[in-house]
Amino acid sequence: MTEMPLISVVIPTYNRAYCIADAVRTAAAQDYKNLEIVAVDDGSTDDTLRALSELQATEPRLRILQHQTNKGVSAARNTGIAAAQGEFIALLDSDDTWLPEHLSTQMRQFTEEPSLDLVYSDGILLLDSDQRKFMDKNPSNGEATFEALIVERCQIPISTVVARKQALMKAGLFDETLPRCDDYDMWVRTAFAGAKIGYNRTIGAKFFVGRPGSLSHSKARMIEGYWNILEKFKRTLPLKDADRAVVEARAAQIRARYLLEEGKCKLEERQFDQARELISEANDYLRKPSLSAAVFGLKFAPGATAKVLSYWTRLRNEASA
pLDDT tens readout for residues 27-83: 999 999 999 999 999 999 999 999 999 999 999 999 999 999 999 999 999 999 999
241-245 contact pairs (CB < 8 A, 24+):
243/146, 243/147
CA angle 173, 40, 222 (to 5 degrees): 55
What is the per-residue pLDDT across 234-246, written as a single tens digit (0 to 9) for each? 999 999 999 999 9
Which domains does the chain show, CATH number per domain? Answer: 7-208 (3.90.550.10), 215-320 (no CATH)
Q: Residue 61 and residue 86: Cα distance in Å, rounded?
A: 12
Q: Residue 54 and residue 59: Cα distance in Å, rounded?
A: 9
What is the per-residue pLDDT across 10-31, written as a single tens digit (0 to 9) for each? 999 999 999 999 999 999 999 9
Helix (H, G, I), strand (E, B) or coil at 121: strand
Q: Residue 170 and residue 191: Cα distance in Å, rounded?
A: 11
Residue 215 reports pLDDT greater than 80 = no
Q: Residue 315 and residue 319: Cα distance in Å, rounded?
A: 6
Q: By the 8 A CB rule, do 175 and 71 touch?
A: no
Give the DSSP H/E element, type plus range, for residue 49.
helix 48-56
